[in-house]
Structures are given as structure tokens and as C-alpha cells.
Structure 1
């Protein structure tokens, strides 16, 4: 069996199934997947196989079944047993399970002792929490019911121990089973057995060992299994207060109030500069109280540390933005249940399903303006109509809510903006001094950092924005060629790398932007980790990289022992990523690639391209956005008005300097001079920069604080306007069409029309909406003509611009009216986070 079949309760499931049909034999893990040997009547084996395919454990997935008759020989088949794991050869092709959200049964174990303290309905409603993905019956009452737990009654650790005598998992923050808990974040090497995980340091007690060895127990061979008696725990610490601390005076006073008489320094530890305040339930109770008091809490989770705070505390929100140097980028918010999420955001069925899924990503959805959190949205998600929400996914998260933590918590990666998430204890304490007031630390080591995944919904389907926890390192595609190990390095922005093993493409967790040295270190660690995990031989490795001559990711190829290195053009890789994940490698398509930047065949900056071809045969560029002259090249992405200067003729540009409505400054005037003198200007066909230019004309004239901020701002201006318009009014907004001239899309008329409308008093939001509609219509017109010329009906679109849900919806509508089908990324991000999949797919046919 190949697929996700290790660490997800698959062997116990097989054992029970074989016992049901009275079959003899064995099941074991190997380095390929799971091997099953069966002896019994043919009819019973057929029934076994039928059930095997349709009654899988929740987190398991079978991708391939290979059947083969074997000789019984000297084998003892008197019964069915679960045998020890074994290694087959030197290569590994096992699917590693992503980390999984805590399951319903473990939540019941976590809280069921509370039934003696809570209302009669508590235990029943809580155990049903997951039945319908946090059904509304419990979601509406969860916060009140959980408030009646032991925490609310001020239980001491001794009281909890007394209650836990009959349930060692009661209030235990690491409770897990074969259906949930950490996987990828704790694996050191394959096969997935406890000695090869970070739990090897915690010997099991007799009770856990009994569960672990019992094939009928849901904790059978659950490698992270532990309880209060034998497993890791949590403790609350604080940095020693000093006069030069970066914390505010209010934070210092509040922090000091949390230090009790029994606080003690941590000796012989990398955390020796910290004071231990409390452990176990008391630590969680005090942490929850600290959040209510306005402190910022660093929490060790599955794949790293997070910073948490009360989402309705203005002072805490301002402090976090200041400490993280994160002036504008949105924060995610964790809420206890689906009903709470629905009160804060407009969520369709797909969005609700994603929130409650076992992956538990951050889900981006339109924020409700009448919620109790609405007054704080300008600090949580500035200039943005959306909010990113996530539900608890570890027992600790639920315990914090049970202990009375705020019902909406900002929950963001613990790092300085742009740096990778902290995951090692010693690094967290060193890097987060001045960011966090208190630290809630778990003793289970994390093997590798894994950030939260981020997903939005476009066209009633998920669109991956950041693929990491809950999804990585699952395979994202299957290639027909199995003989090569291919490593694809991705790009320098939103980096993730991919590795093909036996034709399966495994994509790493999100790494980050490689301009930061610590992110580049993480990039190197991730590559070493992947190659080691799958025991890739030094000989025979093929490396695919982006053609940009200065990308750090591309230059890294020279440090790897490889039999071949293959350069892949950026935008062709984007299109290939769509087709690879949809398994359409040989299909002829028109590929639309739109983003901010990418090194082109002619050494220009590309980003508005239409290709014709397939993954197997390659792609020919057949159309592109007309070139603009971009002052400063990619540096213009920081200042939209600088980008704008390259889209205007000299006369228009100079005229706008004197128009007070635009409020342009020296960045615009200096950029105009660069264009006029042809100094440090670069040809660009980037749609991303075109968005920046229009945003500048509509009023976004400041410095961009995070990638694509101006384009996102323009999208939200358009979405706000759309709410006010009827379908009939919308149909009239086509003033800014781009002219298709055979091989180029000309933007000049569109930009001059935007300038004219702004001078005539047309509101920026109306211009933003008209621009989105006109761009979608113009692209559809060009694609329609090209489809007729080349007899192609399928359009594959990718690149960071395709994260714009409004543009994607408009484009789908326009293409559908013309009889064309739009294919988008769903499994991997359309941004550069999905680039390595496309690189690898194209390299496999090179």
C-alpha cells in the first residue's frame, strides 16, 4: 500500500479488518508504505480489499495498491499479527503524514473528568463537537460550558491529579492517538516509529505501553502517545525583568504581577535567564489570565512558537505591531469554535469545511463589520475587507480557552516580520526577548519548523495561499517518470522546495523569503532534511532552478552534488504547476501567468504572459503585456508611484506632479527623471506592477509594507464598490480595456483613461472596480482569439496575481461566456510558493 498509511492508525485498522474476515497473515510498515500478507478464502480476501478502500481511518489515504501472489513456504500463518517495521533497500517512498488537529475522541479524554463539575449537558455536547465539524449546538454554548471546567473552579495541580487518577489524559496538553497529533514535526527519520521521533526521550509508562501494544486500542503504535505520568508537560516562564528591556512599562508591571512567591530561576538550561512561574494546569490558567490582562504570550505549538494576545485589546495590538516591526500586514485570529468564526466572518460551506478540517489552516474570509471585533479590525487587518481565522488544533489551545483565555486571540508566528518562525527553545528565548511578555513552553522537542497554512476560497473551491502545517509534506503530484530523483529549488520569495521520489512529488513546508539570512538558513536545512529523510543518493540527483541569475535559491545549485542541473523559466514553471497538480501533463493549453516579477527569456522582467503548449512538450510565449520601463527594476515594487512613472509618457508624468489630487513625492519625480534619462530602467511586462501603477493613481502613494500590499488594497477598494452596484451597472464598466494587438496587450489607453477619470473626480473605488472588470475582459478577449487560432479550449492560470479572488472570479465568468474553461492552482499556491512543483514537472521532461 502506498499513500498516507503510516502514523494514521492504518495497521490497527488492517488488523481489525483481517480479524473480521478470519484471515491470517501480517501487516507491517516498510520504507515504501505498508505491506500486508493475507492467507484465506479468495472471497474473504476480496471482501477485505473492498472494505480496505472505503473504510479507511480519517487521516489515511491509499494512492496505490500493488497485488501479488506469494508462496506460503515456511511462513507461520496461524493468525494475523502486526509485525515489526522493516527497511527495503536504500530508497524511501513512504508518504509522511502531515501534523493533524486533535480529534474528537482525544478532546473527550481531555475534558471528560469535568463532567463532575459542569452542567449535565456539558459532557454530551462536548463529545459531539466534531460530529458536524463543530456543529452549532456545541459551538453556540462551548464558551459557556467550557468556562465551567476545572479551571473556573480554581483547581490546583493536586486537585487535577486527584481527578486524573481514572483518566491520565485529563487536562493533558499532549493527548493524542493514531487519528491526530504531531507527525511531520516530530519525525527524525523513516520508518515512522517512536525511536525515530522526538518522543524517544520520553519512555512510556505501563498504561501507555499497554495502549501502544494493543491492536484494538486507538493509541496502538501512536508514536507520540504519552500521559501525565510519563510524557512532556508545559510550564510558564518570564524573562528576568531589566531596565533595558524592550517591553513597555505597562507590560513590565503586568508581567511582574504574574511572578509568584514560588517562582524560581531555570537552572542548567538554555532558558536560565528566565523565571519559571508555574507548571501544568496552573501554568495554563495563569497564561490565560495574562492574555486577559493584555500581555503578549509566546506559545510553543506543533511546528514552532506563536505570539498570542487578546484580539480586542488595542494596547496589546499596537504593542505587537511595534515589537514585530509589522506595520500593516494582517494578523490571524484564533476562535474556539465554528460558531464564533461565523459571527466574525462571512463563511460559505467550503470555508467552514476548511476551518474545521483536520489540516486546520488559517482561512481568509470577508470580515463582518457588525461583529464585536469590528472596532479592532483596523489594527488586526488594516485597509482590508478580510480576516484570517483559525480554530484550535492542539489540546493546549482548547485548554487555554477552557481556562478563560479571550474568545478571540490574535495568533501569529513568533518572529520578527520576515524571519522564519522560531521553533527551538533556545532560539525562541533569544529571538523573542522584547516581543513576548511570558512564555508557555512545552517539553516535547520540535524536529522541524512548520508554519500555519493559509487558504482562501475562490469559485467555491479552496485556493492555497501558504502551504505548510496540515498539508506538508504530502505529495502534490504524480509524474509518469519514476527513475530520477529531482530536487526543485523554487524561487527567492515564499520559498518551498519539492522533491520527486519514485514519481511522487513531495513539497516541503513553507520556508519564506530568502533575502533574510535566517530564512536562507532554513532553506538549506529544509533541503538537507528532505534529501536525508528520503535517503536520496548523491549520484543521480537532478536539480531544477529558476533562471534568475541573482536568486539565492538558484545559486545554491552549485553547492549540491548533482548529475544534472536544469534552469526553468519562472512563468513557465507557474503554468506547469497548475497542470502537474491536475495531472494534465500532456494536455495542450493556453497558459496565463501573471505576477510581479520573473526573469524572462529576453532578460526583461516578465509578469503578464500567455503561453501555448504543454508540460511534456514545453511552452511558447504567444502574447504578453506591452513593456513598460520600470525605474529601479524590482525595487519599484516598494513604491507604487515609482512603478507608475514607467507606465506614463513624459508629458503626462510631469503634468501629474503639479496635480494636488495625486500627492506624489520625490519617489515619483526621481523615477520620471530615471525614465527620461534611461538610467537604471528595465523593461517589464508585469501585471503586478500595472496593479501598483493603478493603485498609485487611486491614492496608494506610500511605501509598501509587505509584498503585493498595493494590489491587495486596490482589490479591496474594488470589492467595496462592487457591493454597492447592481449587475446592470457593473456591465457598463469597461472603460479601461487593454488593446490586444496580435502579440501584445497595450495598457496606454487604459492608464490615460484612469488619469482622466481621477482628474474628473471619479472615486478611486469606482476606478478600482472598473480596472478589475476591464482587465478580466481584456484577457478573456485575447485568450478567445488565441484559442480560436490554436484550437485550444483549456486555460491554465497561475502566478501571484491569481490570488486576487475578485479578478479570478471575473476572469472565470468572462471565459465561461466564451466557452473556455479556467484551471487554477488548488493544491499548491499560485504564488511562488508553488513554483518548485512546476520546475520539477518541466525538468522531468527535459
Structure 2
């Protein structure tokens, strides 16, 4: 902080240390220019902790300098700490930029990859510019960062640009403090930088103008693999049903929606409803996929094929974020599918050899370049809700920017995350660094990505963990890694406690709170499958105060893939259930499953809210089987009338001091209305409203017992915006303060962060 001015001496000299995302973002030239404008002397330089400055001049000018460091910092900079030490003035002339100092413990942070800035876009499409139509134009305000960094300090030799020596013109820009490319590590041009080409699956060239040829192939209905910032995408015409259907067959992705890239905000508005919050998300430097409500699919303004996003009224839209994307979209002038370059459930391909090997059976052509990607990073996915951007998948554009934590971590923590939607987390000091999205740890390729991400983050941030956090589930690959591979003090963290702790820390509080953790699956401390939990929680501790009623999961994991099984489980006491359409659709299998339930073989008990959604979806004929996680619940939300106010009732009973929600009553009401022929849109709405109401009533009962009126909502079920909105409204109307996620996903992508928070809190409590 700035120290109070004292004495009559008009000259002041200060040493300023700035930590945060301040390297590779134009911070030194910004400081240099600011000091020159204020006629200050001194110097600025990078070291392994961030940026160090000495500045001397008139007191008023130095005070203005310190204020402007925060207020006028470059777009990609993020100042986390700024400390000022008063020095004895010693005179001097001029202000210099020093060479980087690579000695000492590394604490400097690396910027996330950033979308192409307006200045670079003007050059890209200026026929008189030397970088005209060059697909790798960048500067200190944009371009690749995290995905090309091998080590720190963030200098060119420590990036994948090391193999591209600067030409004379680029070198002059790089070394000129007045140029916006001063020390822009990925700087390059057609003379000295990476080159683009288009090839077939055998590596044979397909044309001399790669962008035009790729556009031509896409217009012809072909599938093109495109090398992006953090890995390969698979591109196809989004208007043609045949192209999207072909991609689904080849990628083995039956129903899960594809993301769509459009050229401009105007085109996004023609397809979807875009409010101010969504516009900021779409056009900001992070450029995530934004989930938006689609306009009338039958209207002239919404030409995207139904095969792109079946079963949902929403589209995942993104704008171009690299020069290559801008060139391709301008050439095409039509929306394209742009989905991860992989076969379903595998990690995204990011090396050229791997892409050719794994995508040869999917892509008809490959739009490639020779700038290596060092770290894979899928596109981030966000949704918007009540003027807020909420992460669904935190990856490119966000990782590895740290999340500020309210309290110090006594020991450096490695948190291994969950089995699904895995991210790993490193925490030290008062910050936590999350990896880019890794995915589901179900195959060798994803597990390798998991271990590589841990090694790279530890090296990049010079963190040696002293403790490792893991889920309680003994069969998770992340748990086995923590227990068998690290050799560290291992601490297990209950899955839903991690969810709630992540929400608390996401909002900068420690609790206590009533944590409502609703998701699909989590290993409970009693050996059952939890997932509809009411916890009394702080970041360090939790107590199970309530839960949804437990029901059997017939067939275990088979019940996750086949929601009709959960309908059979919930309706096992209904003698008339065999007359329901869901039972008739299954034929003999319905009775076989009922017998399996009676035998109690391979029927683990669960309180899962996700499985309750599955049962409702099956009864209403929305989904009997699913091809991706959460599909039945997602499609059920899409069927619900968002304006219908009525809701079903479910009782809450105290059983041995624990509140148990009669969730089967909700399904019973669904069945009754369904038998009466009530519109499924109204039935789905009444279910959502009834669940929100019983959450409120359960929290009310807990609050009356404890006095706690702070509620934290977490778990993948709260990605359902209808349920989230109804729940928040109900709680706030009854005087609760409600927390939801804003920096990490509410789903399992936030579990690693929550695990780290819990271990840090336990360490502090043990002091």
C-alpha cells in the first residue's frame, strides 16, 4: 500500500513489487511508458515472483504513478499483490527496462490464452500490412500464453516459439519499449513464424491456400480437423444435417450437443437470445462457449441443424478467438460445428502425430501448423444467470489464472479432484491454481493427461506439495494416484463436503453454512451413494443434517446409464406401475429389475438428486437411456414450462436427528399427473418447483435448530438454471443469504478446488 507522505522533501523514491499475472501481458512497457510520461527515473524488470520497480521523482508524480499501476494496467494483467517500500532518493536520469532475473523461487503467474485483440485483427485484414492474412498474428494484449509455456520466467526460450528465430522486423518490434509487441513472446510474422498447411489423413497436401481449401471442404459437407490454441477441433457445416450426423457417427457421440462457432455477435443474435451478460462473455478475451436459449428453430434466423444439439432448446455458441478462426469464418460466412478433436470420452488431441493417429477415421482433412502446443486445453463452457457468468467447464481462457482464497494454506496442497470432469488443483499461500479441464478418468489417455497436468503445474509454479487431497471413493483413479503414487500425506475429503467448501471459498467465506449439495454420485461416509445432501458445514468440517430418501440403484452403474431403472426403483411399491408407459416400453426387463431390487443384489442405496431427475424423466418419456452424463435431467429441464408457478409437495421427517425428504412423494405426484394426461411441460415444472420448495423447507428446519441462515448451493444438479432460480428465490424470500458458484463450476470440475480448501482449513484448525 502507498505510505503516507511526510516531511517537506519534494522527491520520493519507492521500490514496488507487483505479483499476479504481470508477465507476458505488456506490464513492463506499460510501466516504462507511465514513468516516462510522469518524468520519473528508475527501472522495471521481471523476476521469478513478478515485476519489481524502482521509481523516483516528485512526490505527487510518484503517488500518481502508484495509483495508475492498478487503475491503468494492461488488459491481460491481474494484480494480486502490490507492495511499496520507501527508499532514500539518490537521483538519476531516465527509466530503464532491465533483463529478466530467473534466480530464486518462482512465484510469477502465467496468463491464460487470450482472444485476438482489435489491433491485431485490423492488421490481419489490412492488405497493406506485412501480417495480412497471417494466421498467427499476436501482441502483448492477445494470443497464446499458457498452452505454449514450458517453464518460467515467461520468455521466448521457455515457450514452444523457441524454434522460430525472430526476423529483423519482428526483432525490432520485440526490443522496442514503445511498440505493443515489446517482449511479446509469441511475436512472429510470415517471414519467421509458424506456417499453415492443409493435408489429408495420410499427410499429403491438399492445396496451396489452406484456409480457402478448408472452407471449400466444409461447404461440401466434409469434416476438417483444425489445430487450435489448446488442441485440435473437429469442424463441420452446422447448417447441414448430413454433416452433423456424419460427425456424430464417426466421433461416437450420439446425442451430446456440439458447440457452434459463428463469425459475429450479430450472427449469434440471429441464432439465440443474447443479453448484455452473454454479449460480454461471447466477446471478451476468454471467448468461452456460451450456452444460450435458441430462437425458434423454425424461423428464418435460426438455420442450425437440429442434429447439432438434439433434445435441448439451447445452443453452445462461441466467437472466433484466434486469427485462424477469424480467417476461416470470414471465408465461410456460415456457422460451423467446432467440437473437441477426440473420440467421445478421450482427451482432446493436441500433438500432430496423436491427432493424425486418433482422428484419421473421423476427419477428411487436417488444417495444421507447426507451432507446438505444450499444454492441452479444451474450450471453456459457461452459462449466464441473472447477469452473472457461471462456469460449466473452466479451461482455455481461464486456466491457469489463480483463484484468490480467503485464508492462507499452511502447507502446499495438491488436490486430485473427482473421477468425472476432473481438474486438479495446486494451492499455496492464498491462491489456488486449477488445471485446464482434464475430463473423465476412464481410460489410459485421460489418466496420462491427469498425471502430466500435475507435473506441469508443479514445475510451472514451482510448488512442491506437502499434502495430497483425494475423494473418499477407493476405486477412483484420482484416489489411487493420491494413495499410491505421490508418497505424500494423503487426506480424504468427502465428495459433497468438497462441493460445499468450494462454494464457500468461491464466495470468500469459511462458513458455517447449510450446504445443499445435489448431484449424481458421491461416496458417503456410511457406505451408501450420496447425492441429495443437506450439510452443516464449514470449510474444515461437516455434519450430515439431512438428505433425500434413499432408494436402491438396481444394477449399480447400469442405473446411471438407464434412467428407467430408477423409475422402477422409486415405484417398487406401486402395484400399478406395470401399467405405465415406461414399464411397457421395457417389457420383461421391468419385472426383472423389480426382482433384482427385491433380491438386494447389486442394488446400492442412494440419496442422489440426479437419480431422482432420471426417474422423473423416464416416467414422462423424456429419456429411458442416456448417452452422456446428466442427459435426462438436462432434457427434463428443457421440457418444463418456466412460467408455471405450481409445485408438488414432499414431506420432511426427522429420523434419529437427521431430516429425510420424502422424495418418492415427488415422483408419486409426477405419476399421478401423468396418468391424468397432464401436459408434460406442466408436470416437469411442478416437479422443479416442488423440489425447490422442499429444499427451502428443509433449510428452514435446519435454521430453526441451529440459527444458521447462510445457504451454499453446489453440485451438478444446480447447473439446472430453472431449479437454481426457484431455489434461490424461495430461500431469499424467507430471509436466507444464498451463495452459488461464480469462479469454479458447481459440478465435479470444482471438486479439486473444494478438496484443497478443506485440507487447508483442517491444517489451520490443527495449528
TM-score interval for Structure 1 and Structure 2 normalised by the shorter chain: over 0.9
Q: 1:173 to 1:51 in 2, by over 3 A?
A: same
Q: CA deviation at 1:638?
A: 0.4
Equivalences for 1:193-592 in 2 at 5 Å?
A: 193-239=155-201, 273-279=202-208, 282-369=209-296, 370-372=298-300, 374=302, 376-403=304-331, 405-537=332-464, 541-585=466-510, 587-592=511-516
State the match for 1:142 in structure 2: none
Q: CA deviation at 1:558?
A: 2.9
Deviates most, 40-49 or 356-365 = 40-49
Q: Which of 614, 628, 639 is matched with 2:538 structurally?
A: 614
Aligned with 2:501: secondary structure? helix
Deviations 1:594-629 (A, max 9, x none): 00000011011000111113114x121111111111
User: Aligned equivalents of 2:425 and 2:366: distance in 1?
Assistant: 34
Aligned with 2:234: secondary structure? strand
Q: 1:29 to 1:501 in 2, by over 3 A?
A: farther
Alignment partner of 1:710 is 2:632: yes
Aligned with 2:521: secondary structure? coil
Alignment partner of 1:86 is 2:101: yes
Q: 1:30 to 1:663 in 2, by over 3 A?
A: farther
Aligned with 1:290: secondary structure? helix
Unmatched runs of 5 consecutive residues or more in structure 1: 114-165, 240-272
CA root-mean-square deviation: 1.7
Q: Which of 601, 610, 613 is matched with 1:679 structurally?
A: 601
State the match for 2:121 in structure 1: 107
State the match for 2:647 in structure 1: 734
Deviations 1:515-561 (A, max 9, x none): 12211111111111111212233xx6210000011101111013444
Aligned with 1:535: secondary structure? coil
State the match for 1:27 in structure 2: 44
Q: Which of 640, 660, 668 is matched with 1:752 structurally?
A: 668
User: Aligned equivalents of 2:620 and 2:301: distance in 1?
Assistant: 28
User: Aligned equivalents of 1:183 and 1:667: distance in 2?
Assistant: 53
Deviates most, 367-376 or 339-348 = 367-376
Q: CA deviation at 1:373?
A: 6.7
Alignment partner of 1:594 is 2:522: no
Q: CA deviation at 1:669?
A: 2.6
User: 1:333, 1:388 within 8 Å by CA — same for their partners in 2?
Assistant: yes
Q: Which of 10, 16, 36 is matched with 2:53 structurally?
A: 36
Deviations 1:207-242 (A, max 9, x none): 000000000100000000000111111001112xxx
Q: 1:566 to 1:356 in 2, by over 3 A?
A: same
State the match for 2:12 in structure 1: none
State the match for 1:270 in structure 2: none
User: Aligned equivalents of 1:816 and 1:519: distance in 2?
Assistant: 41
State the match for 1:845 in structure 2: 761
Q: CA deviation at 1:571?
A: 0.1
Q: CA deviation at 1:336?
A: 0.6
User: Aligned equivalents of 1:11 and 1:221: distance in 2?
Assistant: 9
State the match for 2:77 in structure 1: 60
Q: 1:567 to 1:77 in 2, by over 3 A?
A: farther
State the match for 2:561 in structure 1: 638
User: Aligned equivalents of 1:53 and 1:376: distance in 2?
Assistant: 44
Aligned with 1:525: secondary structure? helix
How many aligned residue pairs are there?
740
User: 1:32, 1:88 within 8 Å by CA — same for their partners in 2?
Assistant: no
User: 2:239, 2:305 within 8 Å by CA — same for their partners in 1?
Assistant: no
State the match for 2:584 in structure 1: 663
Alignment partner of 1:10 is 2:27: yes
Alignment partner of 1:802 is 2:718: yes
User: Aligned equivalents of 2:670 and 2:187: distance in 1?
Assistant: 62
Q: CA deviation at 1:306?
A: 0.5
User: 2:418, 2:476 within 8 Å by CA — same for their partners in 1?
Assistant: yes
User: 2:472, 2:523 within 8 Å by CA — same for their partners in 1?
Assistant: yes
User: 1:312, 1:408 within 8 Å by CA — same for their partners in 2?
Assistant: yes
User: Aligned equivalents of 1:646 and 1:373: distance in 2?
Assistant: 44
User: 1:714, 1:768 within 8 Å by CA — same for their partners in 2?
Assistant: yes
Deviations 1:337-367 (A, max 9, x none): 1010011001111111100010000000110
Deviations 1:263-308 (A, max 9, x none): xxxxxxxxxx3211234xx111111111111111111011111111
Q: CA deviation at 1:11?
A: 0.8
User: Aligned equivalents of 2:651 and 2:554: distance in 1?
Assistant: 22
Q: 1:690 to 1:167 in 2, by over 3 A?
A: same
Deviations 1:180-233 (A, max 9, x none): 000000000011000000000000000000000000100000000000111111
Deviations 1:152-177 (A, max 9, x none): xxxxxxxxxxxxxx522111100000
Q: 1:372 to 1:204 in 2, by over 3 A?
A: farther
State the match for 1:161 in structure 2: none
State the match for 1:699 in structure 2: 621
User: Aligned equivalents of 1:38 and 1:635: distance in 2?
Assistant: 66
Q: 1:375 to 1:183 in 2, by over 3 A?
A: closer
User: 2:572, 2:594 within 8 Å by CA — same for their partners in 1?
Assistant: no
User: Aligned equivalents of 2:724 and 2:222: distance in 1?
Assistant: 40
Aligned with 1:716: secondary structure? helix
Unmatched runs of 5 consecutive residues or more in structure 2: 1-17, 763-767
Q: CA deviation at 1:673?
A: 1.1
User: 1:451, 1:469 within 8 Å by CA — same for their partners in 2?
Assistant: yes
Q: Which of 628, 638, 643 is matched with 2:551 structurally?
A: 628
Aligned with 1:523: secondary structure? helix
User: 1:738, 1:750 within 8 Å by CA — same for their partners in 2?
Assistant: no
Structure 2-normalised TM-score? 0.94
Aligned with 2:121: secondary structure? helix
Aligned with 1:440: secondary structure? strand
Structure 1-normalised TM-score? 0.85
Q: 1:661 to 1:845 in 2, by over 3 A?
A: closer
User: Aligned equivalents of 1:738 and 1:36: distance in 2?
Assistant: 64
User: 1:15, 1:80 within 8 Å by CA — same for their partners in 2?
Assistant: yes
Q: CA deviation at 1:503?
A: 2.6
State the match for 2:8 in structure 1: none
Q: CA deviation at 1:28?
A: 1.3
Deviates most, 39-48 or 211-220 = 39-48
State the match for 2:690 in structure 1: 774
User: Aligned equivalents of 1:570 and 1:632: distance in 2?
Assistant: 22
Q: 1:698 to 1:397 in 2, by over 3 A?
A: same
User: 2:240, 2:305 within 8 Å by CA — same for their partners in 1?
Assistant: no
Deviations 1:634-653 (A, max 9, x none): 3311000112222223443x
User: Aligned equivalents of 1:545 and 1:27: distance in 2?
Assistant: 42
User: 1:738, 1:774 within 8 Å by CA — same for their partners in 2?
Assistant: no
